[in-house]
């Protein structure tokens, strides 16, 4: 009979007591417990169950199935045609790809001219690369050579909620209609400006697009700035995780409703042991156009930057990148809200636009290829193509490997 190690899981104990028998050994750590096999102990390389380091205790708490379904590597390549780098032009934040009648379509932020930053004339200057943007669209038959088809959604008239910039779009096709959600800014654009989210809809990927007259999502209104200086780090109260900005929206039809995932920025944003204090949230509606109600469980991540979510099996997957203690992970929630880490996924390109036509449900399949953006420099960015491939072995040159790769324990 295979020996078992029973690990009682709880935090706060420095030591561990071992109870031995012919069939089990118990490492005491608290009230909860799980049975750990000898095979797992061997896989983790634990030397002595009587002397478990903090790292070994954490490893013993990992799920029973340790696989490499979501571990892989990426390469990035230049595009041809109108999406190749163009001096003086910003093209960034590609949406997911949709495919219709043999063509791929992508939507993206577009602006011209260098970035001036803050401190000058904010009525005339361009404070970020994504400032003074409109949303444009391009098409391709092969995913390599792209034709810029023209303007999709423009900034609003002066005085409207989107008169300064519309940018970072995401597209959804649902029941023969097309929906673009995107960030919006109203002038003037200073460091305390609160970003919002708008939506537009059309019967064709070519448009024309009808815009919502009001935002469909706004920042929480419960933070308090300190003083009147343009200092976004000076606060009397930080408020919710999204008290300053709501960014990078993405609408996913799920469980008969519409889940609007977004990135939140908090007033007085801090830098933590994982970098910038960025977290994600979700708002849910019965209709693609809203009204959207923020989940009481927000925030739904401890980390992240650009939203990258997709349906997988009976739930939602989320790629968490760039910021926070859980960055560079892929996470899964079978209810669309409560996400758990599935794997580390290093080297994922920035602002990934997924090719949703590849989403067969196979792990890593959705990463086969898609679009991303690259900083030529701080002033100018351009769109490129990424390719992803699962990595299942680590070998030296000319090394022979087993035909069967062990994936779990």
Q: What is the pLDDT of residue 402?
A: 67
pLDDT tier at 122 (50, 70, 90 boundaries)? confident
Which CATH number describes the domain made up of 4-60? 1.10.8.360
Residue 399, pLDDT score: 85
Q: Are 66 and 341 in contact (CB under 8 A)?
A: no
Whether residue 21 is predicted with pLDDT greater than 50 in this model: the reply is: no
Please list, in sequence order, all residues whose beta carbon lies within 8 angstroms of the beta carbon of residue 198, skipping any fewer than 6 positions away.
161, 162, 166, 181, 182, 183, 184, 211, 212, 215, 216
Q: Would you call 326 exposed, middle or buried from its count of C-beta atoms within 10 A (0-12, 13-18, 19+)?
A: middle
pLDDT of residue 403: 59
In this prediction, residue 30 carries a pLDDT of: 31
| Tens of pLDDT, residues 365-383 | 899 999 999 999 999 999 9
Q: In terms of CATH architecture, what is 72-390?
A: 5 Propeller (2.115)
What phi and psi, each to the nearest 5 degrees, are found at residue 332?
A: -130, 140
167-191 tens-digit pLDDT = 999 999 999 999 999 999 999 999 9
316, β-bridge pairs: 311, 333
Task: Judge whether residue 222 has pLDDT over 60.
Answer: yes
Q: Could you tell me the CA-to-CA distances from 18 to 22, 40, 48 in Å, in that order?
A: 13, 18, 11
- Coil, strand or helix at 278: coil
CA distance 74 to 93: 18
* Tokens representing residue 36 in the block: 């750990």
More confident residue, 394 or 408: 394
Whether 115 and 129 have beta carbons less than 8 Å apart is answered as yes
What pLDDT score was predicted for residue 63? 72
Report CA-CA distances (Å) from 158 to 115, 188, 204.
Answer: 21, 11, 28
Measured CA to CA, the distance from residue 202 to residue 179 in angstroms comes to 7
User: Which of 371, 309, 356 lies closest to 99 in space, CA to CA?
Assistant: 356
Task: Please tell me the predicted confidence (pLDDT) of residue 3.
Answer: 36
Q: What is the average per-residue pLDDT within 87-112? A: 97
What per-residue confidence (pLDDT) applies to 17?
Answer: 31
Can you give the pLDDT at residue 14?
Answer: 28
Q: Residue 96 gets which letter from DSSP?
A: -
Q: Is the pLDDT of residue 11 over 80?
A: no
CA distance 398 to 396: 6
Q: What is the pLDDT of residues 247-272, one digit of tens each?
A: 999 999 999 999 999 999 999 999 99
User: Would the CA dihedral through 67, 71, 72, 73 be positive or negative?
Assistant: negative
Confidence (pLDDT) at 24: 39
Q: Where are the domains of the chain?
A: 4-60, 72-390
Name the burial class of residue 2, with classes exposed (0-12), middle (13-18) and buried (19+) by CB atoms within 10 angstroms of its CB.
exposed
Predicted confidence (pLDDT) at residue 314 exceeds the cutoff of 80:
yes
DSSP state of 206: T
| pLDDT-based confidence at residue 65 (cuts at 50, 70, 90) | low
CA torsion 203-208-214-216 (nearest 10°) is 40
Residues in the chain: 409
Mean of all residue pLDDT scores within the chain? 88
pTM: 0.88
pLDDT greater than 80 at residue 49: yes
Residues 44-56 have a mean pLDDT of 89
pLDDT-above-90 percentage for the chain = 73
Residue 294 burial (CB count, 10 A): 19
Same fold? 4-60, 72-390: no
Q: Is the pLDDT of residue 408 over 70?
A: no
Q: Reply yes or no on whether the pLDDT at 2 is more than 50.
A: no
pLDDT in tens, 339-353: 999 889 989 998 999
120: buried, middle or exposed (CB in 10 Å: 19+, 13-18, 0-12)? Answer: exposed
Does residue 277 carry a pLDDT above 50?
yes
> Cα–Cα distance between 255 and 7 in angstroms, integer?
37
Q: Are 246 and 238 in contact (CB under 8 A)?
A: no
């Amino acid at each position: 009979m295979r020996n078992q190690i029973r690990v009682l899981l709880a935090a706060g104990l420095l030591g561990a007591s071992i109870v031995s028998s012919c069939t089990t050994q118990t490492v005491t750590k608290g009230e909860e417990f799980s049975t750990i096999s000898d095979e797992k102990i061997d896989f983790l390389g634990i030397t002595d169950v009587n002397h478990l380091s903090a790292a070994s205790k954490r490893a013993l708490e990992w799920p029973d199935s340790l696989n490499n379904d979501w571990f892989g590597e990426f390469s990035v390549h230049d595009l041809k045609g109108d999406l190749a780098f163009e001096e003086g032009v910003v093209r960034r934040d590609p949406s997911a790809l949709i495919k219709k009648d043999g063509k791929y379509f992508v939507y993206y932020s577009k602006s011209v001219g260098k970035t001036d930053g803050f401190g000058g004339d904010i009525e005339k200057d361009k404070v970020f690369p994504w400032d003074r943007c409109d949303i444009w669209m391009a098409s391709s038959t092969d995913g390599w050579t792209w034709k810029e088809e023209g303007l999709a959604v423009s900034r609003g008239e002066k005085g409207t909620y989107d008169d300064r910039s519309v940018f970072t779009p995401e597209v959804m096709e649902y029941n023969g209609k097309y929906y673009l959600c995107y960030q919006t800014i109203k002038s003037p654009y200073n460091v305390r400006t609160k970003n919002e989210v708008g939506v537009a809809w059309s019967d064709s990927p070519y448009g024309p697009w009808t815009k919502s007259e009001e935002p469909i999502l706004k920042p929480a209104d419960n933070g308090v700035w300190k003083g009147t200086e343009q200092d976004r780090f000076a606060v009397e109260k930080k408020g919710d995780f999204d008290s300053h900005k709501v960014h990078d929206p993405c609408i996913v039809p799920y469980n008969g409703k519409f889940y609007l995932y977004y990135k939140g920025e908090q007033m007085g944003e801090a830098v933590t042991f994982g970098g910038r204090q960025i977290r994600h949230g979700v708002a849910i509606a019965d209709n693609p156009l809203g009204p959207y109600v923020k989940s009481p469980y927000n925030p739904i991540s401890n980390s992240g930057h650009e939203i990258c979510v997709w349906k997988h099996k009976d739930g939602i997957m989320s790629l968490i990148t760039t910021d926070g203690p859980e960055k560079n992970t892929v996470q899964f929630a079978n209810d669309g809200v409560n996400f758990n880490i599935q794997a580390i996924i290093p080297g994922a390109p920035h602002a990934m636009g997924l090719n949703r036509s590849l989403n067969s449900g196979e792990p890593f399949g959705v990463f086969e290829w898609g679009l991303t953006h690259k900083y030529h420099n701080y002033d100018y960015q351009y769109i490129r193509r990424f390719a992803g491939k699962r990595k299942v072995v680590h070998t030296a040159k000319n090394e022979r490997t087993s035909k069967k790769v062990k994936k779990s324990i």
